[in-house]
Structure 1
């Protein structure tokens, strides 16, 4: 079974505007709707859309938590959240017709108490077994520090689950200590991690990615946004993946869709490079849509034809 863990769940209120957003102007809304926010919940949606069984777990608040579960049901996602008194946070995603991507405004999220934290530790110990996949995506909410975060990852590791981690900053440093099967920082997160910014030559990333492999991380997938990605694998091969050209409408959740595609590929034939290729097409389809979640199968098939892969090492 694949378990996705979103520790700081959210609901997205996507607000569409008639024209390009401008400061000091009356920007008129054409319509708005609700969609699933959070991080690993998007991974669950991709998996469910591909017909792959999975369970979305993590924390939700008593306020608006029910709405999140209902939204997930619409995507045929089964959820088993720890419920705590509080408000499930809401994110505001602003989408205009400029093709330049969306704006996102997020709430902080409620503080996870000790009882809820111990419940999720118990959940991991009870549910996960050898051969399962555990996906942790997004930063933890207030109440979970680095040591508590590491304990969660360690609990999954102790069950011999295959660990996928998508986080940043101090939590990325913590996650690396648990030697995940795969980590997926984006360009900004990775450059923050290595304390070096403004890298323009892709080859400059390779020594840092290899250093992570030396530390015990099995695979490093570096997302470069609209420029594609780089993959450093356990066998020391390094690849560059170039995405299709698209009109960007809503990039919210693109990285999560990317992770979902990779997890789906690993759950299928197990070929990581092919998984990254299909994930690139899925993520492109998501960005070309106006929603925060999901993709279009026909678009994915077309995008796959445009993706280029180059072996760097």
Structure 2
């Protein structure tokens, strides 16, 4: 058997704003270089096969970057991901008893702060989550990590008094689900779409209709005034989608996007819901779909 060798890019990955995975790959690369990320070690066996194993930092916990929909990025950011930090195995919550081990809370505070400082040393802007930051609620912590164009400042973080919600929303260790008569963000948006006659339930890719998907999104990126928030993705009807073989748009695509997104905005507004997305409009010449945060402002 040969020696274990690290399987990872030896040069920094090239970031392409059109490819969300490239932003995640770049941050993952930097996390490994900082000694905070997961590494893959491989070994060539005598039979020609390769054996791999993952190695995580010792005593520091481990960080992993996650793709974040552009609709939830800070305004003007040119790269943005969330970084998930999992505590060291010796200080993880006991899943059988629910007990948080002595020293776990301090470990979380120290490592969240140290992780933020390390990424900031490479030019990233880091906002540790206000709500995903405690071993009493979640198995891991979360940080919003982004980059602004040269010369542009970081966004202003709202004061604590501005946030509508002070505690984490379900699911977490203390509350697994929303309790009746409360509604989840996804249920609220589904009701609004149904009332507007929009097909949020459509999953057939061959359907002649446009499609909408509603997915939960981390509370880390909820607008401060929101008490409910979810991630909505809209796709055009197949007859108005870009041709897979030629990459060309069919006639009427622009009008289809304007009409259907207009109906979507109006239907959600009629239900008292707000939308947030990137400043640049979603357009068929640039995008395959449109992404929004849909939220309800706290009363």
TM-score bucket of the superposed structures, by smaller chain: under 0.3
Task: Tell me the TM-score normalized by structure 1.
Answer: 0.27
Greater share of residues in strand: 1
Report which of the two structures shows the higher radius of gyration computed on alpha carbons: 2
Task: Tell me the TM-score normalized by structure 2.
Answer: 0.28
